[in-house]
Amino acid sequence: MDPACFLPSHQFNGSPLGSDLYKTSPTFASSKTGRTEQPKAVEPTRIITDPVTGRAYSKGRLLGKGGFARCYEMRDLSSSQTYAVKVIPHSRVAKPHQREKIINEIELHRDLHHKHIVKFSHHFEDSENIYIFLEHCSRKSLAHIWKSRHTLLEPEVRYYLKQIISALKYLHLKGILHRDLKLGNFFISENMELKVGDFGLAARQEPADQRKKTICGTPNYLAPEVLLRQGHGPESDVWSLGCVMYTLLCGNPPFETSDLKETYKCIKHVTYTLPVFLSIPAKNLLMGILKRNPQERLTLEEILDHEFFTKGYTPDKLPPSSCVMVPELNPPNPAKSLFVKVTKTLFGKRKSKVKKSPSEERDEISKLVTGLVKTSICRQMSHKTVEGNEVTPLSGQSPSSSPAVTVAEEGSRKSISRSIRGTMASTSEVFEDCVTASAVIESAIALLKNCLSIMPPAERNPASLACHEHFVWVSKWVDYSNKYGFGYQLSNRSIGVLFNDGTHMTLSANWKKVHYNLTNSKHFSFPASAVPEQLQGQMSVLQYFASYMEQHLMKGGDLPSIDEVGQLPLLLLQWVKTDQALLMLFSNGTFQVNFYNDHTKVIFSKPDHSCLLTYINRDRNSYTYKLSSIAELGCSPELQHRLKYILKLLLERADA
């Protein structure tokens, strides 16, 4: 391997949330229990310098050690930023396959951007070592908490497991298996947030018949199929998650024995004991996870939907004292319950049995929604990826399910419509539009069927158009339908939200004009400074979506942005998520499909004229073709595969 692959370092801006105690793990666990011992050795402080950038770092205390590396606390002398730094001596990676493992870890980890995954900052090497700079979590790891506490309360376990599952869903969506989930690899930040770390054994997911049969990981957390040399799959990570849950609740791993061979035997035969003090939901969940057959195990979505989570209290935050002592946990207070009721009323969920006058509801919304949005969106909507528009659901929504859209009563819509007309008569404009999602689907099916039926086989795509045609596409998106709705940013820099109640709100690129749709056939337009009182709650959500996407998400391709030219805003009619892709249908006939695993996108635009197909590849480079050219000349197998999948998806929607 070329040493230059480590230089220059790949850096990501942004400061870590605290200072982190890191443990580096060997290829196999240092102990069969998976317990992490705090090293006592402290090496003298010295200065480490990046030979390329000249940045100097003060090397501090030893945080942990493993088979290949030691981990130290280091401080950037120019910025005072603190990192946890893996230091790998060249002597430990002298053989090609050893160096390849380090390269693999770097390449996997540096592309991960998620609230509950340890941040990769940058790396470099000098004549002695390779240095990997990581987020620094000051409250050590779950292994240290477990060592102090031995067992945790069920609400605490739910708190940590939800964060682990959030990170795992993100990893699996990107086709990455962690393969070494254990207490010592879950790090705790200054503000008590869990971060999954140590990707030394992580690997990209392979088809079942191509999986590597290597037994790797920590003995107590290995899945039966791994011990039987059938390879790792997503289900193997789920098994390890079950072992983590058991360990936190019961005080020891489920298959721990005094003899390693006996431990392996217990794992293969799934022999373990459920203590009597466990709750019934906890026992049922563990039994659903620790299944010998990987296909019978609960999925991550099913785990979150289990009564252990849905019927049990999960604290929003844990006190730092819980690292060493049992915390005092209080159930939700009445004020929080009121927040939930107001949110459900505002965003189309089941209405309260106690009817309130419109003025009373508006007063409650005005007082509560801003605080609710700030505390809820800002804390939870922080899943960042390399391509930030690929944000996974933030709650238990199944990727294969369509969005939950609860349409408000027609009478309520008419009431809102009359109210808006009355209060905004001097400043609002009313427009009519009657494009439907079914019409877009029918048109798209006809186009694709015709194209796929006549196009000849080909090895490559036809010549792309020399210049970009002006059309609008989704450059960023956020799925927050578990609370509010689906948000997106268009290439013209306008922001839209399709709320769970079926209403739609759009903010112009300059943030000066708002369009509000009660249905897909009627919408209002008014200055952002004069939004009607009854829409202030939704306006607050829209503004937070806009701020979040602007600050945290990356544009999903290299297509140029285009300016708004005064026409009506593009209206999102429908969005659908499957296990492979996201489909978005718009009021002008445009539809876009984003594929999760490789971040490729297919956009169909100008369906009423000469239909254009734009393909954005995994490197975010875009190519636009006339659909008629693809029908005549054919396209690459890569694009053809995607077109066939899109047609199948559209046909399923047409039949739904």
The reply to whether 184 and 115 lie within a common domain is: no
Task: List, for residues 82-105, the tens digit of each pLDDT value.
Answer: 999 999 999 888 888 888 889 989
Question: pLDDT tens-digit profile of 532-566?
Answer: 888 888 888 888 888 888 777 776 665 655 544 44
**pLDDT-derived band of residue 178, with 50, 70 and 90 as boundaries?**
very high
Name the domain count of the chain: 4
Angstrom distance (rounded) from CA 283 to CA 504? 43
Same domain assignment for residues 150 and 125: no
Give yes or no: residues 245 and 278 share one domain. Answer: yes
Owning domain of residue 301: 142-317
Q: Which residues are catalytic?
A: 180
Contact between 584 and 602 under an 8 Å Cβ cutoff? The reply is: no
DSSP string computed for 167-235:
HHHHHHHTTEE----SGGGEEE-TTS-EEE---TT-EE---GGG------B-GGG--HHHHTT----HH
Is the same domain home to 292 and 436?
A: no
Is 322 domain-assigned?
A: no
- 34-48, 322-336, 575-589 — which one is most confidently predicted on average? 575-589
- Same-domain check for residues 72 and 124: yes
Does 346 reside within a domain?
Answer: yes
Residue 596 burial (CB < 10 Å; 0-12/13-18/19+)?
buried
The pLDDT of residue 449 is 92
**95 marked as part of a ligand binding site:** yes
Of 113, 134, 155, the last residue of a domain is 134
**CB atoms inside a 10 Å sphere around CB 295:** 7
| Rounded alpha-carbon distances, angstroms, from residue 330 to 149, 308, 372 | 20, 18, 19
Mean pLDDT throughout 495-517? Answer: 87
Domain annotation covers residue 399: no
When pLDDT is cut at 50, 70 and 90, the band that residue 6 belongs to is very low
State residue 26's pLDDT score: 36
Give the per-residue pLDDT at 469. Answer: 61
Residue 80, pLDDT > 50, answer yes
The CA distances from residue 296 to 101, 239, 570, 615, in Å, are 32, 11, 44, 38
Looking up residue 215, the CATH number of its domain turns out to be 1.10.510.10
Take residue 459 and report the two structure tokens written for it.
Answer: 């090895």
What CATH number is associated with residue 473? 3.30.1120.30
Residue 301 lies in a domain: yes
**Is residue 494 a contact partner of residue 508, using CB atoms and an 8 Å limit?**
yes
557 and 642 together in one domain: yes
Reply yes or no on whether the pLDDT at 46 is more than 50. yes
The rounded percent of the chain whose pLDDT value lies above 70 is 72
Residue type, 199: F
Q: Which of 368, 365, 374 is nearest to 535 (CA)?
A: 365
What is the reported pLDDT for 652? 87
Provide CB contacts within 8 A for 380, sequence distance 6+.
Answer: 394, 480
Task: Please say if the pLDDT value at position 484 is more than 70.
Answer: yes
Residues 416, 358: contact at Cβ < 8 Å? no
Question: Domain check: are 424 and 362 in the same one?
Answer: no
Kindly report the average pLDDT of the chain as a whole number: 77
Under 8 Å between Cβ of 86 and 80: no
pLDDT of residue 451: 92
- Is residue 398 included in any domain, yes or no? no
What's residue 357's pLDDT? Answer: 53
Please indicate, yes or no, whether residues 588 and 450 belong to a single structural domain of this protein.
yes
- Higher-pLDDT residue of 17 and 411 is 411
Domain end, chosen from 134, 153, 172, is at 134
Going 356 to 357 to 358 to 364, the CA torsion angle's sign is negative
Mean pLDDT (whole number) for 30-39? 39
Is the predicted pLDDT of residue 69 greater than 90, yes or no?
no
Cβ atoms of residues 216 and 181 within 8 Å: no
What pLDDT, on the 0 to 100 scale, is given for residue 211? Answer: 63
More confident residue, 153 or 370: 153
Domain co-membership, 594 together with 615? yes
User: In the predicted model, is pLDDT for residue 434 greater than 80?
Assistant: no
Co-location of 486 and 366 in the same domain? no
- The tokens describing 89, both together, are 């001596």
Residue 599 — pLDDT band, cuts 50, 70, 90?
A: confident
| Amino acid letter, residue 503 | T
* Domain-embedded: residue 326: no
Q: Token pair for residue 510?
A: 């300059």
Proportion of the chain above pLDDT 90, given as a percent: 42
Q: End-to-end CA distance of the chain, in Å? A: 52
Question: Could you tell me if 312 and 445 lie in one domain?
Answer: no
Asked whether residue 323 is assigned to any structural domain, the reply reads no
| Rounded CA separation 264/255 (Å) | 8
Average the pLDDT over 580-591 and give the result.
90
β-strand partners of 656: none
180 shares its domain with 282: yes
In a domain, 386, yes or no: no
Domain boundary among 134, 153, 175: 134
Residue type, 66: G
| Burial 229-243, CB ≥16 within 10 A → b, else e | eebbbbbbbbbbbbb
